[in-house]
Structure 1
Amino acid sequence: MEYHRAQALTLEFTDLVFKGQNKKIILNGVNGRFRPGYLCAILGPSGAGKTSLLNILAGFKVAGVTGSILVNGKPRNVTKLRQQSCYITQEFAMLNVLTVRETMEIAACLKLGNTVEKKKKAAVVEEIATVLGLKGSLDQRVAKLSGGEKKRVSIAMELITNPPIMFFDEPTSGLDSCSSLQVMTHLQSLARGGRTIIVVIHQPSSRILELIDDILLISGGQSIYNGPLSELVSTFNSIGVQCPQYYNRADFALEVACHERGDHVDKLAKLTAKTHRERRGDFYMDKITFITSCSDVTTSTERSSMLAMV
């Protein structure tokens, strides 16, 4: 089945403010950008506003929100974005008596409708199962799957519509270290196919952290860093916050966000806002750079006629 190659989408947001019940400020001027082709993570201590931000960006929370959200430089259309994206929560419901194949075929029928032939739907199921390492489990009942396999099945069900943006709320929650690494490796592979993959993740291990390209660090509802993981330490060093040698950068970032390494949050928030203003509108250059860097690389995801998102 030939899928139309979806447009690579950059999500950019400026001065997001969200007030919850009793006008409590949950997000206070959050700035950031998530790029196609990169695995992007939202980090921060508990209660920092990570899931609220994810819900706002995905269009599931609009009341009480102010600020700007752009998709490829244009104001976000919530209805259109909901059609172009999927949101995978921590909890996912599947029938234990069905096989993986049956589960995915039902999802394909519901999502693709009667306009797609049964044979082509079956081909879609096979293709996605191959991409996510589920080919050998297609005829296994859901009840017998591991937690990591179930998480991959939940991802597979959403991939049927080939969304260019995918939101994940703590995809490694409840999984052991091996399963967590497998899931995040597959998410990185999906990102490399040209999708914008955005995950909320809590205290990633060093191995998982190495899979992440860009991070948005939140503290007390403020964005205190957004950019490549590779530049996190040098950015913090520029204001006098030193990361110990051989230290997990995620632990270091969370300690800064929790004020355990001094009171640097306000200074970092101002620096992040300044950096964001200076780079606004350069998403087209990011897209060109991504396409150029991937032009000589062939992965199983990129080879797929159904799932490639260049």
Structure 2
Amino acid sequence: MAGRRRQRWRLPVTTLAATTTLDQGRKLPRAEDAHAWVVSESAGRGPCVDRFTWSSQANEACRTATPLAKDGFAIGCMDVNQDTAQACADEIVAQGGKALAVRVDVAQREDVLKGVDEVVAHFGRLDVMINNAGLGPTTPIEDITPEIYRKVFDVNVGGTYWGIQAAVKHFKARKPAKKGDVIGKIISASSQAGQVGNPDLAVYGATKFAIRGITQTAAMDLAALGITVNAYCPGIVRTPMMEGIAQKVADQNGKSLEWGLEQWAKTVLLGRISEPEDVAASVSYLAGPDSDYMTGQAIIIDGGMVFN
């Protein structure tokens, strides 16, 4: 497409769904009782048009899942690519955890419902659902096409809707013993770009703003069932894709990778970009009992980029 800027991609956000068994004391579950389900969005979504390519952040999904496994969660690894899901499950099992790999296209409602059913049948129940599958294109306004719009919204927003519906189906099988008890948690990935507008992120940012709205509405709709709904908003995270972007900037200036990363870190008050473990720790908090008295919120983990 001569004369037009080449389509670039921002870091996509993966989807993690977790299920844990919570006892009456609201403690983290014993390893033999805990179950979790993980979903990630990898490359290989089928035919693409020129300038429209898909990227994977499945590695980051697995790095989010690993701390949950250490907390005692059994993990269901779900990805549009079976091999990617299996690799994540194998990594967790190798570290002494429990995991199951399931192929799911999060843009397809029936796929998500079926995938959650399969994981619940394997592990016995669902307690925490983490929706973090996603795609993140950089899209100058004049470059947005109907295909870009539909594909990104189908995965980022549709996947969140279907994940919530799949979770509620299983959560409703239980009832809180008393008012205020939490019997299930839904956690979705928003973004710093879902808090404020960012240049060239009109589509991605719109999906992340949408997830914050869905989170608030779902929290209102589901509170009476004993279900909390929250979101988390990462900033700039050091991932293989982020390193690739930073390396290009560094190469253009004859500098090192670390110099390239430092250019991005200049926008962060704490002076460094986030590590995946920073985000994973926040997800672990939202999945655990310490966050029981929180719902309808979107916590920001960006090192000091956005203030509300």
The normalised TM-score by structure 2 is: 0.32
Q: Report which of the two has the higher share of strand.
A: 1
Using CA pairs below 8 Å that are at least 6 residues apart, which structure has the higher relative contact order?
A: 1
The normalised TM-score by structure 1 is: 0.32
